Amino acid sequence: MNHDLTALVGRHGGDGSRLVQILREVMAVEGWISPPTITELARLLHLSRAHVEGVAGFYAFFATTPHGRFRVLFSDNVTDVMAGSHELRKRMLDSFRIELGEVSRDGLVSVGATSCTGLCDQGPALLVNGHAIARLTPARIGAITSLIRAGSPVEQWPDNLFTIDHHVERKDLLLGTELAPGAGIDAAIGRGRAGTVAEIEASLLRGRGGAGFSTGAKWKACAAAPGEQRYVVCNADEGEPGTFKDRELLREWAPLVVEGMTVAGWAVGAHKGLIYLRGEYLFLLPALEALLEERRRAGLLGAGIRGVPGFDFDVEIHLGAGAYVCGEESALLESLEGKRGIPRNRPPYPVTHGYRQQPTVVNNVETLVAAALIAARGADWFRAVGTPKSAGTKIHSVSGDVARPGIYEFPFGTSIRTLLTAAGATKTQAVMVGGPSGVLVSASEFDRRVAFEDVPSAGAFMVFDDSRDVLSVLDNFAHFFAHESCGFCTPCRVGTTVQRQILGRVVAGKGSRRDVDELLQVSRLLKATSHCGLGHTAGNAVLDGLTKFRPAFDRRLSSLDVPTFDLDAALAPAREATARDDAGAHLDEEGP
């Protein structure tokens, strides 16, 4: 241990619920979380050692073994792969003469993969010691490799490497409306707490994170729930591959996000708000912290907001550490409390038993932007746009085979074809609406509308032209879900792995019709029996693929009737368990 853990824990008030934040700081200094560090943190925080070790081992951005002074993680999202991520990754691996996931002999560097960096509009992308770099090219890889060889601290690397472009291509109701700081808060105060909840209810605003639950109903239930404290949580952990809208909202419209949180705090009687910021968005943290301080100075956060006695509300930021499942609201709350991000059993729901088991509103970033504007402009203004069942607009993150990737805001009810035309897509064969957990749409469906009553979306809009292999896309998604499953429930833990294995056989041309039938069964079981939304939706793309792109499966089958079995592939877990991958650990296919 090279730093004072006592001082670190002291800065966090000795609060065990801040364990994830503490471990992030340990990683930043040490590069890994050693066994002595785990033991000492358990002592200082009055936690069991098993608890600390369990949290340290749960999150992808934590390491309980050394990963080198420089830990490089290439995005493995399908759009990054399409843009050449794997080729660039191989270039770096070859340069350091290491394998994927391996640490160089001198302990300098390791190169691995991460599911998605939230930079799908400007990939390929990577993280190095948690810092995001986009728009990778061979020249950029060469520059990064040279900086690593020189041992230059990442904080001293040229600023241009870390530039993240703005790609806001179309604005509408939300992004095109100006709001003076405090205008939404003033209007909410004028209506009173109950009146503010009623206005949000009347607007028909539904959650923009994917589930589409009534925001007004959520606020109303939280306000009515018994409890000593109430909390407002902003879910800024957009880990769905293909989604990056919240990144732009938190860069350019962050005042509206915080205004929406403050309006929610007033409406439900909360005194504290928490932003759970995706770990990949570390580059947003300084500006967000500065914004919070600015609003405190302006009397828009803190005690007695706008001079109203009892209207005390402040916001703090927590950083995630690389766990897709923490986008699920109850898993996010567990992470905020310094635990592994395992989804809770429900009921009870967060509105009655949320953060610290107190009534809690959890809203998506986009939802809070809408709430701030509704508070200022009124429910009728918002409801005038969209459809009767899907009021307002939807902000889309468009990536893949398009001429103009970026952020597009359209009214609900807009056709998929309209979005494709706006983004400059041509020869499109499929669109993944809502990310891997969403709806796979074929060309015959492009006149369908994006709306809760037709094609719902959490924001991702991934486009694939006719040069792409749909099965390879689905294979990427299957690997994603198998990797991101928290392992809590058997259907998801086993089902996502089986789904990945079967798809792998089919993609490799070694599958049979029975494999396809089993794939269908496994995907249905995931939807019906998994513990949380991750498992429920992990088979969505596969089920849609089997329905809409069945010929692509059939063309790859080695046998239409007889099941195939690859004994050497089946022995892969045994090789991994025994740390053997030499020739003697493989079957000789040409042998007797």
DSSP secondary structure string for all residues of 498-509: HHHHHHHHHHTT
What number is the average pLDDT over the span 338-347? 96
Q: Show the tokens assigned to 247.
A: 């990144």
Beta bridge partners of 463: 400, 431
**Is residue 240 helix, strand or coil?**
coil
What number is the average pLDDT over the span 342-352? 95
Percent of the chain residues topping a pLDDT of 90: 92
Of 578 and 344, which is predicted with more confidence?
A: 344
**Which architecture does CATH list for 70-165?**
3-Layer(aba) Sandwich (3.40)
Residue pair 333/344 in contact by the 8 Å Cβ criterion: yes
Residue pair 455/210 in contact by the 8 Å Cβ criterion: no
**Which architecture does CATH list for 393-468?**
Roll (3.10)
Residue pair 111/93 in contact by the 8 Å Cβ criterion: yes
- Least confident residue range of 220-224, 531-535, 578-582: 578-582
Residue 381: partners with Cβ closer than 8 Å, 6 or more residues away: 373, 374
Closest CA to 542 of 517, 565, 563: 517
| CA 590 to mean position of chain CA atoms | 45
Residue pair 466/441 in contact by the 8 Å Cβ criterion: no
Distance CA 20, CA 274 (A): 14
**pLDDT of amino acid 566:** 64
Q: Which helix (H) or strand (E) holds 442?
A: strand 439-442
- Which residue is associated with the tokens 């909360």? 270
Q: CA angle 284-288-289, nearest 5°?
A: 120
Give buried/exposed letters for 29-42 (b at 16+ CB in 10 A, else e). eebbbbeebbebbb
Beta bridge partners of 127: 73, 132
- Which residue is associated with the tokens 């239409």? 560
- Which residue is associated with the tokens 């302990």? 107
Distance CA 210, CA 180 (A): 29
Question: Rounded to a whole number, what is the distance in angstroms from the first to the last CA of the chain?
Answer: 55
Q: Is the pLDDT of residue 172 over 90?
A: yes
What number is the average pLDDT over the span 282-295? 98
**Is residue 408 helix, strand or coil?**
strand
**pLDDT of amino acid 525:** 92
- Which residue is associated with the tokens 């992308």? 125
DSSP 3-state helix, strand, coil percentages of the chain (rounded to 5)?
50, 15, 35
**pLDDT of amino acid 590:** 44
Q: Is the pLDDT of residue 160 over 60?
A: yes
Closest CA to 172 of 234, 251, 245: 245
List C-alpha distances in Å: 263 to 184, 189, 239, 260, 299: 7, 9, 26, 5, 14
Residue pair 365/236 in contact by the 8 Å Cβ criterion: yes
Residue pair 246/169 in contact by the 8 Å Cβ criterion: no
Check residue 345 and report its DSSP letter. Answer: P
Q: For 75, list phi and psi in degrees, rounded to 5.
A: -65, 130
Q: So what CATH class is 170-383?
A: alpha beta
What number is the average pLDDT over the span 351-364? 98
The verdict on whether omega for the bond into residue 124 sits within 30 degrees of 0, i.e. cis, is yes
At 55-98, the pLDDT tens digits run 999 999 999 999 999 999 999 999 999 999 999 999 999 999 99
Residue pair 274/318 in contact by the 8 Å Cβ criterion: yes
Burial of 392 per CB tally in 10 Å (0-12, 13-18, 19+): buried
At 489-532, the pLDDT tens digits run 999 999 999 999 999 999 999 999 999 999 999 999 999 999 99
Kindly report the three-state secondary structure assignment for every residue of 360-407.
Answer: EEEEEHHHHHHHHHHHHHCHHHHHCCECCCCECEEEEEEEECCCCCEE
- Which residue is associated with the tokens 């107190």? 358
Distance CA 378, CA 376 (A): 6
Distance CA 242, CA 306 (A): 39
Q: Show the tokens assigned to 212.
A: 């589409």
- Which residue is associated with the tokens 């990536």? 399
Q: How many helices (H) and strands (E) does the chain have?
A: 24, 14
**pLDDT of amino acid 577:** 62
- Least confident residue range of 185-199, 350-364, 514-528: 514-528
Distance CA 229, CA 235 (A): 19
Q: Show the tokens assigned to 342.
A: 């395992």
Check residue 342 and report its DSSP letter. Answer: P
Q: Could you tell me the sign of the dihedral formed by the alpha carbons of 454, 460, 465, 467, in that order?
A: negative
Q: Is the pLDDT of residue 591 over 90?
A: no
Q: Tell me the pLDDT of the chain averaged across its residues.
A: 94
Distance CA 186, CA 376 (A): 8
Residue pair 266/301 in contact by the 8 Å Cβ criterion: no
Q: Show the tokens assigned to 186.
A: 């003033």
Residue pair 587/568 in contact by the 8 Å Cβ criterion: yes
| CA 509 to mean position of chain CA atoms | 32
Beta bridge partners of 559: 512
| CA 395 to mean position of chain CA atoms | 16
**pLDDT of amino acid 484:** 94
**pLDDT of amino acid 226:** 96
User: pLDDT band at 561, cuts 50/70/90?
Assistant: low
Distance CA 407, CA 124 (A): 18
Closest CA to 361 of 333, 396, 401: 333
**pLDDT of amino acid 503:** 94
**pLDDT of amino acid 576:** 65
Beta strand pairing status for 406-411 and 168-170? parallel
Beta bridge partners of 11: none
Q: Is the pLDDT of residue 343 over 50?
A: yes
**Is residue 235 helix, strand or coil?**
strand
Return the C-alpha torsion angle 89, 94, 98, 100, nearest 10.
Answer: 20
